[in-house]
């Protein structure tokens, strides 16, 4: 190459480097989270969906991930650290091809041995790296996994306990931490918590428990389209809704999760943007199906569903809800085509109640468990009062049993037959319904009747059970989608829950925040965001 | 004096033991489950039982208490169930931040309350007295979390003069005495100071008014003493009682600022306590309550000793 060529080459390289660094110099995003602490940083996060959103899919990757690129369609699964996977003819042994050339933030290579090490971290309490805190978060997410083996650096097999086609969804929960980093930090998870190492698009740079965490871009991230544009993302726990709103409006943060509905008009009036989108979350009454429960009568269940004027509930939530048409949001890929429409129809509801033997002179008395607050519960007190008034229109008199959120979770785990539930025939619970298990299977599987699982209402139905089994044994994705749709159709046609509304994951942000695409998912991609200074 | 001090210090031990038993039992009585904070809500019963055993929560309460108190005596306050971090580090870090806030509020409240109280006592039954009384009753009556929210709306949201939350740009670990950090302290400290201003003003007003009506004051004037010197005598006489009230107020400021710390996202013991309550984080809850209770006991002791030191009439043997 001539001197001129070399000179031009050097100039172009230098210009590219300058432009590259300028392109990345896109400001600092300060986020006010609803969590009261920074989520667990060692790999498997705590703090529910928010923990996975901000400390999970930012610092770490899983073998299979959620597609967070589009706001217009429900998220599906995409390759993550595994590029392809298939199940053997026995329907038990899965083979995963791992992504080549991926490195952890500490520089060590990601291999199949690392995946085995991470599974042991969660499942093998005799292993040196077993971490009870991460295990508490991760073990229950992969119930299908029986064993796992590294075949070579880039090939892994996982054997399931029984045929289970939902394994890819289960694996989307499991995040990979670095073995080399753990070893370098004296095999001490507490030290790892301060300087964790994943393969994700963000690196944790600084961490003050309960106060802040600073994430910076991982410029060597394996997916060039997901290398963060920002210089930093600072996470700040702000559990009190008014404190979050004030922090945003006074310019101390640029983004807050879950603004209170009554603060939204003031924010919008001051130029702040409200982002929201449908996502797999619902707000329901889970009904008891124990003997003697009034909800065993399908006419009562349908009447109650048709008594709720969901459109009129919208102003209560500042318009930030999707009226329920079923258990899953109408935009879900698994919604199907149910024949029962639970939309508001007071006359039809009254007719059904009359058919069931109830009317102005013969009211039905029901007892409902509700909480005054709680994660994902939206505005439980006014919303439940709205439902109570709506049901009174069709001669259903509701007596509330109000318990604090932590105790509510215990009563949900205990199930409708537990003494502590005190005869309540429903529980108002909001559900994470993102995958087949959390979305459909766990609520009605007869093998998961509480307290062994989360079938709170003790529901049993052979037809439903067959569908739930079929979900697990249908390995073709398109065919599995059809089964999931059929299952949801049964959910709706049998009016198995009181379908009320779906949250839309509102978040408020400064007009300086650009480039955010709110996926129809609990997790989000922060890499595309920039700050317009 | 020394005997008194030693006796009081020895008495702290049964008080601390009583406090530890009460706070241990209180947090056990509350319904709820600490595992909620560390496991997915749909973890199976088997997984919950395994985790309960791992944290020793399956043992009988007396055994749990014995283990806790045994570790405590050896200086180990245990680990937070929710975060896995040592309780001692969490509590003392938070108490340090609360102390910063409480002392700042006290620095604002005590001089203002004392000055207002003296004014009201000196000009008793005049418009000055009535104005101070109105101010102090308002201070005691206004819910301070509401006042905090109003101050945030005015000074943070509308005027953008002061920050609404946090302990500084780098968090409490980077605290330093410069305006960049101290401005974070202004609104919570002022809000927290409002109640003690009212209480101290009311106390000092009553004390000053009573002392000014005593015969020795007339005698001092008769001797030709200046008004300023007379007031110095009045202040000295009022100091012991006023100090005891201030000492107790400082204790309340440290332990009773849960709402203020929540409104301002101040990383102190109140904020920690509130999170520990909602998460049923028993070791953290027990540790925080114990430390705050012992601080209260210590404040009482200090106040008693200082009272005795500045007022020879208070003889303690």
Domain boundaries, chain B: 87-310
Expressed in angstroms, the distance from the first to the final Cα of chain B is 6
In DSSP terms, which residues pair with A426 in a beta bridge? A287, A368
**In which residue are the tokens 């806790």 written?**
B68
Q: Which fold has domain A281-503?
A: Dipeptide-binding Protein; domain 3 (3.10.105)
Q: What is the DSSP string of A109-154?
A: BP-HHHHHHHHHHHH-TTSTT--HHHHHHHGGG-TTEEEEEEEETT
Query: Residue B258: its pLDDT value, please?
Result: 86
CA–CA gap between residue B187 and residue B183 (Å, rounded): 8
Return the minimum-mean-pLDDT range out of A254-268, A286-300, A475-489: A254-268
* Contact between residue B238 and residue B214 where contact means Cβ atoms under 8 Å apart: no
- Find, among B49, B35, B45, B40, the residue nearest to A435 by Cα: B40
Give the residues of chain B that fall short of pLDDT 50.
Answer: 317
Q: How many residues does chain A have?
A: 533
* A contact residues 138-157, partner B, Cβ 8 Å cutoff: 139-141, 143
Q: What is the DSSP string of chain B?
A: -HHHHHHHHHHHHHHHHHHHHHHHHHHHHS-S-GGGGTS-TT--HHHHHHHHHHTTTTS-HHHHHHHHHHHHHTT---B-TTT-SBHHHHHHHHHHHHHHHHHHHHHHHHHHHHHHHHHHHHTTTSHHHHHHHHHHHHHHHS-HHHHHHHHIIIIIIIS--S--SSSSTT-GGG--SSHHHHHHHHHHHHHHHHHHHHHHHHHHHHHHHHHHTSHHHHHHHHTT--HHHHHHHHHHHHHHHHHHHHHHHHHHHHHS-HHHHHHTT--SHHHHHHHHHHHT-HHHHHHHHHHHHHHHHHHHHHHHHHHHHH-TTS---
Hey, is A465 helix, strand or coil? helix
CA–CA gap between residue A61 and residue A54 (Å, rounded): 12
Q: What is the mean pLDDT of residues A146-162?
A: 97
CA–CA gap between residue A404 and residue A388 (Å, rounded): 19
Q: Is the dihedral of CA A340, A344, A346, A349 positive or negative?
A: positive
Q: Show residues of chain B in contact with A401, CB under 8 Å.
A: none
With b for 16 or more beta-carbon neighbours within 10 A and e for fewer, the B258-290 pattern comes to bbbbbbbbbbbbbbbbbbbbbbbbbbbbbbbbb
- Interchain contact A208–B (C-beta under 8 A): yes
Hey, is A31 helix, strand or coil? strand
CA–CA gap between residue A221 and residue A201 (Å, rounded): 5
Identify which of B40, B45, B264 has the shortest CB distance to residue A451. B45
Look up residue A269 and give its two tokens: 């009036």
Query: Residue B315: its pLDDT value, please?
Result: 57
CA–CA gap between residue B264 and residue A123 (Å, rounded): 41
Identify which of A212, A246, A442 has the shortest CB distance to residue B171. A212
Half-sphere exposure of residue A469, counting CA atoms within 13 Å on the CB side? 9
- Tens-place pLDDT, residues A158-194: 999 999 999 999 999 999 999 999 999 999 999 999 9
Query: Residue A236: its pLDDT value, please?
Result: 95
- Interchain contact A412–B (C-beta under 8 A): yes
Look up residue B156 and give its two tokens: 């943070």
Look up residue A220 and give its two tokens: 């060597």
CA-based nearest distance A140→chain B, Å: 6
- Interchain contact A434–B (C-beta under 8 A): no
Contact A406 B263 (CB under 8 A): no
- Find, among A402, A395, A414, the residue nearest to A374 by Cα: A402
- Interchain contact A517–B (C-beta under 8 A): no
Return the minimum-mean-pLDDT range out of A439-443, A516-520, B289-293: B289-293
Query: Residue B164: its pLDDT value, please?
Result: 93
∠ CA(A241), CA(A246), CA(A247), 5° rounding?
A: 95
- Find, among A110, A490, A501, the residue nearest to A322 by Cα: A501
Measured in degrees and rounded to the nearest 5, phi and psi for residue A32 equal -95, 110
ipTM: 0.83
Query: Residue B226: its pLDDT value, please?
Result: 86
**In which residue are the tokens 């070893």 written?**
A183
- Tens-place pLDDT, residues A464-490: 999 999 999 999 999 999 999 999 999
Contact B165 A249 (CB under 8 A): no
Q: What are the residues whose beta carbons fall under 8 Å from the beta carbon of A67, sequence distance 6 or more?
A: A75, A76, A77, A78, A519
Q: Is B7 exposed, middle or buried (0-12, 13-18, 19+ CB in 10 A)?
A: exposed
Q: Show residues of chain A in contact with B149, CB under 8 Å.
A: 242, 246
Q: Show residues of chain B in contact with A412, CB under 8 Å.
A: 41
* Contact between residue A508 and residue A248 where contact means Cβ atoms under 8 Å apart: yes
Between B69 and A460, name the one with better pLDDT: A460
Structural domain spans, chain A = 28-242+507-531, 281-503
Q: Please name the helix (run of DSSP H) or strand (run of DSSP E) that holds residue A155, with its range, or none.
A: strand A155-160
- Tens-place pLDDT, residues A332-372: 999 999 999 999 999 999 999 999 999 999 999 999 999 99
CA dihedral A496, A502, A503, A505 (to 10 degrees): 110
Identify which of A37, A239, A250 has the shortest CB distance to residue B83. A37
Mutate to test the interface with B, among A33, A212, A427 (most CBs of B within 10 A): A212
* Contact between residue B269 and residue B94 where contact means Cβ atoms under 8 Å apart: yes
Q: What is the DSSP string of A206-240?
A: EEETTTEEEEEE-TT-S-GGGS--SSEEEEEE--S
- Interchain contact A242–B (C-beta under 8 A): yes
Alpha carbon of residue A252 to chain centroid: 27
pLDDT of A425 > 80? The answer is yes
Contact B156 A452 (CB under 8 A): no
Query: Residue A25: its pLDDT value, please?
Result: 54
- Interchain contact A132–B (C-beta under 8 A): yes
Q: Which fold has domain A28-242+507-531?
A: D-Maltodextrin-Binding Protein; domain 2 (3.40.190)
Q: Which fold has domain B87-310?
A: MetI-like fold (1.10.3720)
Identify which of A132, A208, A243 has the shortest CB distance to residue B173. A208
The DSSP output letter for A447 is G
Mutate to test the interface with B, among A190, A196, A242, A372 (most CBs of B within 10 A): A242
Residue A41 has a CB neighbour count (10 Å cut-off) of: 24
């Amino acid at each position: 190459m001539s001197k001129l060529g070399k000179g031009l080459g050097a100039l172009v390289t230098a210009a590219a480097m300058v432009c590259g660094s300028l392109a990345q110099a896109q400001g600092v995003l300060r986020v006010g989270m609803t969590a009261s602490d920074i989520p667990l940083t060692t790999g498997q996060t705590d703090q529910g969906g928010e923990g996975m959103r901000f400390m999970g899919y930012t610092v770490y990757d899983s073998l299979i991930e959620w597609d967070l690129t589009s706001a217009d369609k429900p998220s599906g699964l995409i390759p993550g650290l595994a590029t392809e996977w298939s199940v053997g003819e026995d329907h038990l042994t899965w083979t995963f091809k791992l992504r080549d050339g991926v490195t952890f933030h500490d520089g060590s290579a990601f291999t199949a041995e690392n995946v085995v090490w991470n599974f042991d971290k969660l499942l093998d309490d005799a292993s040196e790296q077993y971490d009870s805190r991460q295990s508490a978060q991760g073990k229950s997410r992969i119930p299908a996994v029986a064993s796992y083996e590294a075949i070579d650096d880039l090939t892994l097999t996982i054997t399931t306990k029984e045929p289970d086609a939902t394994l890819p969804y289960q694996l989307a929960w499991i995040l990979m931490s670095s073995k080399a980093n753990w070893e370098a930090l004296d095999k001490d998870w507490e030290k790892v918590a301060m300087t964790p190492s994943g393969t994700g698009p963000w690196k944790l740079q600084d961490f003050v428990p309960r106060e802040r965490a600073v994430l910076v871009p991982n410029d060597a991230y394996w997916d060039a389209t997901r290398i963060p544009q920002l210089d930093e993302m600072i996470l700040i726990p702000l559990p009190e809704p008014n404190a979050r709103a004030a922090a945003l409006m006074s310019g101390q943060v640029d983004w807050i999760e879950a603004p209170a509905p009554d603060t939204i008009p003031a924010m919008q009036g001051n130029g702040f943007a409200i982002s929201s989108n449908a996502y797999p979350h619902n707000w329901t009454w889970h009904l008891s199906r124990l003997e003697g429960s009034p909800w065993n009568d399908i006419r009562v269940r349908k009447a109650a569903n048709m008594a709720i004027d969901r459109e009129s509930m919208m102003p209560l939530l500042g318009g930030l809800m999707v009226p329920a048409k079923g258990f899953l949001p109408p935009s879900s890929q698994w919604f199907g085509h149910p024949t029962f429409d639970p939309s508001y129809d007071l006359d039809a509801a009254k007719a059904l109640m009359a058919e069931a033997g109830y009317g102005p002179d013969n009211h039905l008395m029901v007892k409902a468990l509700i909480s005054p607050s709680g994660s994902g519960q939206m505005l439980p007190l006014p919303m439940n009062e709205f439902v109570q008034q709506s049901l009174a229109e069709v001669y259903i008199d509701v007596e509330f049993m109000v318990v604090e959120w932590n105790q509510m979770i215990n009563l949900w785990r205990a199930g409708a037959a537990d003494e502590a539930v005190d005869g309540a025939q429903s529980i108002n619970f909001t559900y994470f319904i993102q995958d087949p298990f959390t979305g459909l299977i766990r609520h009605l599987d007869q093998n998961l009747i509480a307290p062994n699982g989360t079938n709170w209402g003790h529901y049993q139905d052979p037809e439903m059970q067959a569908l739930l089994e079929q979900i697990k044994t249908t390995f073709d994705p398109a065919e599995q989608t059809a089964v999931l749709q059929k299952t949801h159709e049964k959910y709706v046609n049998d009016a198995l829950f009181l379908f009320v509304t779906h949250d839309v994951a509102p978040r408020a942000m400064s007009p300086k925040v650009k480039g955010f695409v709110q996926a129809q998912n609990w997790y989000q991609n922060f890499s595309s965001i920039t700050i317009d200074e | 004096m020394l005997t008194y001090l030693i006796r009081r210090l020895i008495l702290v031990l049964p008080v601390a033991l009583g406090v530890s038993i009460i706070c241990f039992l209180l947090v056990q009585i509350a319904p709820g489950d600490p595992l909620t904070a560390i496991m997915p809500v749909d973890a199976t019963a088997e997984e919950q039982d395994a985790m309960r055993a791992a944290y020793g929560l399956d043992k009988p309460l007396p055994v749990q208490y014995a283990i806790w108190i045994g570790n405590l005596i050896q200086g180990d306050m245990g680990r937070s169930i929710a975060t896995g971090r040592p309780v001692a580090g969490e509590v003392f870090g938070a108490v340090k931040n609360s102390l910063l806030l409480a002392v700042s509020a006290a620095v604002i409240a005590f001089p203002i309350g004392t000055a207002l109280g003296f004014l009201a006592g000196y000009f008793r039954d005049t418009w000055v007295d009535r104005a101070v009384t109105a101010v102090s009753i308002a201070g005691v009556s206004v819910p301070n979390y509401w006042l905090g929210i109003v101050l945030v709306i005015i000074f943070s949201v509308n005027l953008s003069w002061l920050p609404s939350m946090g302990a500084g740009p780098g968090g409490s670990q980077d605290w330093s005495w410069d305006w960049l950090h101290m401005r974070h302290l202004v609104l919570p400290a002022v809000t927290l100071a409002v109640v003690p201003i009212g209480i101290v003003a009311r106390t000092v007003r009553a004390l000053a008014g009573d002392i000014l009506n005593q015969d020795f004051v007339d005698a001092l004037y008769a001797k030709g003493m200046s008004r300023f010197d007379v007031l110095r005598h009045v202040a000295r006489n009022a100091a012991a009682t006023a100090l005891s009230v201030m000492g107790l107020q400082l204790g309340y400021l440290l332990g009773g600022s849960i709402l203020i710390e929540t409104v301002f996202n101040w990383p102190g013991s109140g904020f920690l306590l509130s999170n520990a309550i909602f998460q049923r984080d028993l070791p953290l809850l027990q540790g925080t309550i114990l430390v705050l209770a012992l601080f209260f006991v210590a404040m009482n002791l200090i106040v008693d000793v200082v009272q005795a030191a500045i007022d020879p009439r208070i003889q303690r043997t």
